[in-house]
Amino acid sequence: MVMRVATFALADSMIAASMRTQAKVSERQIQTASGAISNDFGGLGATSKKVIDLQVSVSQSKNYEDAATSADNRVEVMYSATGSIVDLLSNYRSQLTAAVSANSTDTTALVSSAEEFMEELASLLNTQYGGRYLFAGSMTSTAPVDLEAYSNTTITPDTTYYQGDDEIASVKVSESQTISYGVTADDPAFEKALRAFSMIANDISSPIDSETITSALDLATEALDEVTSVQTQLSLSASQLERAVSNQQNYQDYTSALSSSLTDVDVAAVTAEISTYQAQLEASYAAVSKILGLRLSDYLG
């Protein structure tokens, strides 16, 4: 039925209000279904910048976590390698001690063991992980130990075998923290170990005199103590890196929760709002229906 001019403005206003309420109901229903306040940043209003900043912060934190995790993995491989070096030196020291005690004139077996230990030490110091030589400093594409021209049989330190540089690796694990880690193959602990092996392996005397064996034993004992210290330092670096990873993970959890509090809906509260809006909508529909049904004849006697 055509609306009378007198009731048009009121009815139009009531219909517009009903449509706005209907839009709010639809919006809340979508939020309830998706669990999010909005499917884009535009719907978040003034909080959108804060949410974007939080998401960028989480992304940066994950980068720090990944970097710390990668460094920790490298340290673990280095720790394992130094553990093997400790075993080599322990075995070698036992053989040297036995040779000194026996005062034997046959040192062929000792020379053979020293040669094997020397080669194995070089192999351990040339350990690679992820395509990088771990004990070469920053020259990660170069094998740090080359024994081709190395044959030291003196007590004088000699690092001519080393092909890397002196740079110790480091990793940025947060905006304000950088952790240095690792060790290079020219570290005095490794140099002494290699020299202790070389003193016997490259000695041309037959048999090797007891003084040389005793010197090698003393050097091997020093090297064992120092390699153990290096391994301890690697363990401390690993602990630092693991804490850094944990700190970043905790930060991500906190920041993600804060971001969710700004983007996720409170389902209970939204459900209550839907009920309220639906009640308002029903009342609006009833009022509009009543206005549209008014007749002048209903009030004439």
Residue with tokens 């050097």: 219
**What pLDDT band is residue 264 in, cutting at 50, 70 and 90?**
low
Contacts of 2 (CB under 8 A, 6+ apart): none
- Dist CA 241 CA 238 (whole Å): 5
Residue 49 confidence (pLDDT): 74
CB 96, CB 110: distance < 8 Å: yes
Cis peptide before 207 (omega within 30 of 0): yes
Per residue in 169-227, pLDDT (tens digit) is 999 999 999 999 999 999 999 999 999 999 999 988 878 888 999 999 999 999 999 99
Identify the burial level of 97 via C-beta atoms within 10 angstroms of its C-beta, where 0-12 means exposed, 13-18 middle and 19 or more buried.
middle
Residue 196 confidence (pLDDT): 97
pLDDT tops 90 at residue 261? no
Q: Collapse the DSSP code of 33 into the 3-class scheme (helix H, G, I; strand E, B; otherwise coil) and give the result.
A: helix
Which amino acid would we find at residue 195? R
pLDDT tops 80 at residue 12? no
CA angle 173–175–179, rounded 5-degree value: 35
pTM score = 0.74
Helices (H) and strands (E) in the chain, counts: 6, 4
